[in-house]
Each structure stands twice: as structure tokens, then as C-alpha cells.
A = this chain, B = another copy of it.
Amino acid sequence: MTELPSLLPHEVDTDLRDAVAKLLEDRSPIDAVLHRCDAPEPFGDGARALWAGLTDDLGVAGLPLAETEGGAEATWRETAVVVEALGRAVADIPFFISAVMATSLAQAAGATGLLRDLATGHEIGAVVTPFAAPFEPRAEVGLHGSRVAGRVSAVAGALESTQLLVPHPDALLLVRTTDATITPLPSLDMTRRVADVELATVEAVVLAEGREAQQAVQRAAHVSAAMLASEQLGLAEYSLESTVQYLQQRRQFGRVVGSFQALKHRLADLWTLLIQARAVARYAAACAGAEEGTAAAHDLPVAASLAQSYCGPVAVKIAEECVQLHGGIGFTWEHPAHLYLKRAKVDALALGSAAWHRRELAKQVDL
């Protein structure tokens, strides 16, 4: 057997998971999330309280960062535990956007000052890339000296952000959100809204240039794709668990609906997908968090594309089946199933579709 990194939760992971879950239960019950979907602005008081709990009380925004970067000297493995818990609760906060996408990008670019700000949670970063596209430098953005101009569509987290990281083919740039024009869009996933970002020849800080900038974006793309799988895992876990619970109670034809064999077999198949998605997500997190030079670290590009090839479709399938198996009630606004469905579908589109990642993977492993 090839030596694989441990895919089991460590003891500290369990504590972390429980702490985040408790916080979510207290500050972000699912009805509150649902309610906030109708708010004209994202990141309202409730969501901010949750954010504060995570960043101030638990201090988990900088888990994978070094102490010098304002971090906790843990790894992306631990961040994955947080991401999974937030996925289970379909939390409407910019943790993934700021503490994963922006942070991994700033970390790869060695932007220590920015990292310290992001780690506190007082600054919130967003990456100016269409969320439903591969995480790559954007040609829509023009670079004129240190000034950037252009319009990027359907960017996630821009509305909540205070700092915008702009990946350009020749450089990685940093712009204050207040210097950009952010146009909110009605979003398919209202728990993670998107906006158009317009930069009208704005002065930017250059975080990295040339090949260094490109490598930083590539590293951040791999880390983000790997970590997104933990969010998808959390979505899928909750969707399946809530469906099983519902079917254990719901009766039709004088029987508990969950005793009908056709449904039992479908749920068994979904669970079989879920345990595999869990292993895939854990492996991707382990690779993202592995020390440089190890086999696992070297395998990150494969693990990341594997994760997005597998976990995205599994989360969508489970969320779709969750709606279906709830019958009519799952189709109503008041039931939270749709929040998971929308998030799962958007996540499957995010950072490159499964089909796109399969192509990447085929290149990586010589298929």
C-alpha cells in the first residue's frame, strides 16, 4: 500500500468542528440564514455576529498561516474542518472567499501585511475572478503601470469585501474595495451573492509580478479547489442526514416512507457516494496542508482536480435528491432544502466545472 496521509480527523479537528458547530447553532440557525436571503444587502447583523465569533472568538481565519503572518500555525487541513462545518450550515459569510481564496492567494504571493489583516477578520478579501470560472488570471482587466481597469462579472464576496485581489496575467494586484464600483446581482445562491466589479483605472498595490504572480494564482487555485470540496462535503452530509430524518418520520400508505425499498436503495447509493466524497475531500485537504516537498504536497494539483471532479457532482446529486425525497415540502421556500440545492449547484460551477477539472486531471496524470 502506498503511504497515504491520514484521512481521519485528529483530536484537535473534532474539538474545532464542535466549537464551530456550536457557534453556528447559536448565531446562525438555518431559519436565520433563510431569512437573510430576502435582505437587500448581504452580511447583515446576524451574519456579522457569526463572522465575529469565528474570527475574534475562535480565531480560525488564519489557521494555515505562520505566526509572522498573524496565523495560528495550523494547516489547510484544519481550515477544511471549518469549511465543512460552514457548508453543513450553508452559512452566508465570506469565510471561503476571504479565509480560503484570498488568503491562499496572499499567502502564495508572500503578502504578509495583507495576511495579517485577513487573519484578524477585520479586513475581508475577495478575488476578482468570476466565481463560476476556472480560477485564473483575468484578461478582462487591463494593467497600465500600477493602475488597473476593467470589468469582471459575477464575482463572489465582492460585496462583503474590503480588499480586492486582482489576478492579471502579468501581475497580482491589490485594490481597496471602496475604490471599485460593485454592482450587486440577484444571485442564484443568495447565501453567497455575486456582483460585477468595475475598476475604472484605479491605483493598485502590486503584490507579485510575472511568473511569481502566475504561480501564486495557480497555488491559490489548487488550494481553493481542494478546500471547496470540504464545503461540498458539508452540504452533502447535511442534505443526506436531513433527508433520512425526514423519511424516518414521514408516513404515507400507512408506512414510514423511509421503509420503502426503492427509497432506501437510493439513499444507500447516496451514502456510498458520500463516504467516497468524504475521503476525496479529506485527501485534498491533506495535500493542501502537507509540508512542502512531501508526496502529498506534490500531489495537490491532482487532488484538487480530483476533488472538484468528484465532490461537486456528488453534492449536487444529494441536494437534488434531498429536494425530491422531501416531496412537495422540499419545493417550498420555507424549507431549507433549496438553500443547499442552490449552493451545491453554484459550488459545482465554481472554480471550474467537474468537466473542466476532469480535463485538467487527465493532463496531470497522463490520460
Chain A residues within 8 Å of B, Cβ to Cβ:
260-262, 264-265
Listed residue (A260, A261, A264) with the most chain B CB atoms within 10 angstroms of its CB: A261
Sampled A-B contacts (6; CB under 8 Å): A260-B261, A261-B261, A261-B262, A262-B262, A262-B264, A262-B265
* Pairs A-B, 6 closest by C-beta atoms: A262-B265, A261-B262, A261-B261, A262-B262, A260-B261, A262-B264
Task: Write the chain B residue with the least CB distance to A259.
Answer: B261
* Cα–Cα distance between A231 and B262 once the two chains are bound (Å): 31
Q: How distant is the Cα of A264 from the Cα of B260 in the complex, in angstroms?
A: 11
Closest CB-CB distance, A162 to chain B, in whole Å? Answer: 45
Chain B residues whose C-beta falls within 8 Å of the C-beta of A264 in the assembled complex: 262
Shortest distance from the beta carbon of A252 to any chain B beta carbon, whole Å? 13
Copies of this chain, how many?
2
Q: Which residues of B contact A262 (CB under 8 A)?
A: 261-262, 264-265
Q: What's the least CB distance linking A185 to chain B, in Å?
A: 30
A151 to B264, CA, bound (A): 54
Chain B residues, CB < 8 A from A261: 260-262
- Report the separation of the CA atoms of residues A265 and B261 in the bound assembly, to the nearest whole angstrom: 9
Bound state CA distance, A273 and B165, in angstroms? Answer: 50
- Alpha-carbon gap, A261 to B253, bound state (A): 14
Q: Which residues of B contact A265 (CB under 8 A)?
A: 262
Report chain B residues within 8 Å CB of A260.
261
- How far is it, in angstroms, between the C-alpha of A264 and the C-alpha of B263 when the chains are bound? 12
Max chain B C-beta neighbours (<10 A), residue from A260, A262, A264: A262
A365 CB to nearest B CB, Å: 20
Q: Considering the chains assembled together, what is the distance between the CA atoms of A262 and B261 in angstroms?
A: 5
A262 to B265, CA, bound (A): 7
A321 to chain B minimum Cβ distance, whole angstroms, is 14
Considering the chains assembled together, what is the distance between the CA atoms of A262 and B263 in angstroms? 7
- Nearest CB of B to A367, in Å: 15
Please, how many angstroms separate the alpha-carbon atoms of A260 and B259 in the complex?
Answer: 11
Nearest Cβ in chain B — how far from A184, in angstroms? 35
Measured between C-beta atoms, what is the minimum distance from A48 to chain B in Å?
A: 47
CA distance A260 to B260 in the complex (A): 9
Separation in Å of the A44 CB from the closest CB of chain B? 44
Instruction: Name the residue of chain B whose CB is nearest to the CB of A268.
Output: B262
- In the complex, how many angstroms separate the beta carbon of A31 from the nearest chain B beta carbon? 34
A261 to B264, CA, bound (A): 10
The smallest C-beta distance from A74 to any residue of chain B, in angstroms, reads 45
Please report the C-alpha to C-alpha distance between residue A197 and residue B265 in the assembled complex, in whole angstroms: 49
Would you give the shortest CB distance from A255 to chain B, in whole angstroms? 11
Q: How far is the CB of A120 from chain B (nearest CB, A)?
A: 51
Q: How far is the CA of A261 from the CA of B260 in the complex (A)?
A: 7
How far is A112 from B262 in the complex, measured between Cα atoms in Å? 57
A354 to B262, CA, bound (A): 29
- Complex CA gap A264/B264 in Å reads 13
Assembled-state Cα–Cα distance A357/B252 (Å): 45
A262→B267 CA distance, assembly (Å): 11
A263: nearest residue on chain B (CB-CB)?
A: B261
A264 to chain B: closest residue by CB: B262
> Whole-angstrom distance from the CB of A64 to the nearest CB of chain B?
42
